[in-house]
């Protein structure tokens, strides 16, 4: 379908929707859930899908008298596929909301579709600051890299880390992590002596880590997307970085709960900043982690899962408020929601449509034979620094 034809079809679908008749008798509330279920980022898809299912198991599959139907599509983490799937979900399935989005380019590819069709789009996983600015119909329940990067940049210089090399995946969230870490760390008196960027997919870290060894910093600050943390850790240890006295710090993506137990004891002591740890100490989180494990063969939920779970909460609450609505009314009901998440208190800023939450400083520790990101400090109610102008 060419672009003009698509826009025409889309306009017709939107017209039908505003005329009301096509949907008035429709007794379903449809969620088009697009995730990478195969390929290198399949762990994100699996985590988010499991969380969506858990939310529905706990909260029922009807809202405002309508049956909730989740239509799950695998985009294989290819943006052109994500875009095609979003078009089909809007035009053919007439979904009330689009959700999921495992990586920044996948979310950005769908922003024009959300805008043109006035379909709210809930980003449950991707985390580049600018995503919410790509369409006024985008709401985010994941996090932003600047939120996490600034947290660790405040902690490090107070804890003897003055000279750092940064290493990030070379695309949106990595560039955010690099920039916001460097700005805050430098402001706090630290120095970033080298900024390294690795390919987003299947990176070989070894040549980069060799450079880090030669630079002899106090620490390496790293961001890699969920799914790649274990490979980074393995090569960090193989290169003898820890033995050379170089510490590892980063955003919590590198000590991802999905992989942490498999990374081994060399991770003990790694300090990161993030919005979610599976060991977050609250009754709600204990219940979430427990139920998630029971339903998924012992799998531990990671920060992607919590983004999916909270995304479902935002969607369900907005569906209740609007009697299973769509478009601008549904979007308005998503803005400004305040609730308790397994991560802690959480709020959708009505102005920016982005998530405001606590950022925790955590250290990997072994507790009862398992590795956990143990939270030991908190920065409360952090807005995305990428939007605080």
Contact residues: ligand PHB, CB under 6 A? 103-104, 126-128, 172-173, 225-226, 253
Closest to ligand PHB by CB, 17 or 132: 132
3-state helix, strand, coil in the chain (%, to 5): 45, 25, 30
Closest to ligand PHB by CB, 126 or 220: 126
CA distances from 312 to 48, 153, 289, 346 (A): 10, 32, 16, 14
As given in the structure block, the two tokens for residue 84 are 């095609």
3-state secondary structure of 99: strand
Which run of H or E residues covers position 186?
helix 172-187
In DSSP notation, 17-48 reads HHHSHHHHT--EEEEEEEE--SSTTHHHHHHH
Q: What is the smallest separation between the CB atom of 313 and ligand PHB, expressed in angstroms? A: 20
Residue nearest to ligand PHB (CB): 225
Report yes or no: 275 and 303 within 8 Å, Cβ to Cβ: yes
Q: What is the smallest separation between the CB atom of 47 and ligand PHB, expressed in angstroms? A: 11
CA–CA gap between residue 87 and residue 91 (Å, rounded):
6
Using the structure block, give the residue that is written with the tokens 């709020």: 347
Report yes or no: 128 and 354 within 8 Å, Cβ to Cβ: no
Closest to ligand PHB by CB, 173 or 325: 173
CA–CA gap between residue 237 and residue 224 (Å, rounded):
16
Closest to ligand PHB by CB, 64 or 79: 79
Q: What is the smallest separation between the CB atom of 264 and ligand PHB, expressed in angstroms? A: 20
Closest to ligand PHB by CB, 227 or 327: 227
Q: What is the smallest separation between the CB atom of 127 and ligand PHB, expressed in angstroms? A: 4
Q: What is the smallest separation between the CB atom of 15 and ligand PHB, expressed in angstroms? A: 34
Closest to ligand PHB by CB, 103 or 139: 103
Q: What is the smallest separation between the CB atom of 167 and ligand PHB, expressed in angstroms? A: 14
């Amino acid at each position: 379908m060419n672009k003009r034809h698509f826009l025409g079809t889309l306009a017709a679908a939107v017209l039908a929707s505003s005329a009301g008749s096509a949907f008035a008798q429709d007794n379903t509330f449809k969620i088009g859930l697009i995730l990478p279920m195969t390929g290198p980022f399949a762990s994100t898809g699996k985590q988010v899908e499991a969380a969506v299912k858990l939310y529905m198991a706990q909260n029922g599959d009807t809202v405002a008298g309508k049956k909730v139907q989740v239509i799950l599509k695998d985009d294989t983490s290819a943006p052109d596929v994500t875009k095609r799937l979003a078009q089909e979900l809007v035009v053919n399935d007439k979904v009330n909301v689009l959700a999921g989005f495992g990586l920044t380019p996948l979310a950005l590819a769908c922003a024009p579709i959300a805008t043109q069709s006035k379909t709210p789009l809930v980003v449950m996983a991707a985390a580049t600051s600018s995503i919410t600015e790509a369409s006024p119909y985008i709401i985010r329940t994941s996090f932003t890299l600047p939120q996490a990067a600034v947290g660790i940049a405040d902690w490090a210089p107070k804890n003897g880390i003055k000279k750092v090399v940064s290493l990030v995946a070379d695309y949106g969230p990595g560039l955010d992590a690099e920039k916001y870490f460097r700005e805050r760390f430098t402001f706090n008196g630290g120095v970033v002596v080298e900024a390294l960027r690795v390919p987003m997919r299947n990176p070989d870290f070894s040549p980069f880590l060799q450079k880090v060894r030669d630079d002899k910093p106090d620490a390496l600050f790293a961001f890699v997307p969920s799914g790649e943390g274990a490979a980074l850790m393995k090569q960090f240890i193989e290169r003898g970085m820890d033995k050379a006295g170089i510490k590892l710090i980063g955003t919590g993506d590198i000590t991802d709960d999905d992989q942490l137990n498999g990374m081994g004891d060399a991770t003990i002591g790694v300090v990161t900043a993030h919005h979610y740890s599976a060991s977050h100490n609250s009754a709600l989180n204990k219940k979430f982690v427990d139920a998630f494990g029971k339903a998924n063969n012992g799998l531990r939920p990671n920060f992607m899962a919590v983004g999916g779970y909270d995304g479902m909460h935002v969607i369900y609450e907005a569906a209740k408020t609007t009697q299973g609505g769509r478009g601008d009314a549904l979007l308005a009901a998503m803005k400004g929601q305040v609730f308790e998440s397994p991560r802690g208190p959480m709020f959708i800023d009505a102005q920016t449509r982005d998530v405001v939450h606590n950022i925790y400083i955590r250290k990997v520790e072994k507790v009862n034979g398992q590795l956990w990101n143990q939270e030991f400090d908190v920065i409360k109610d952090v807005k995305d620094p990428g939007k605080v102008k």
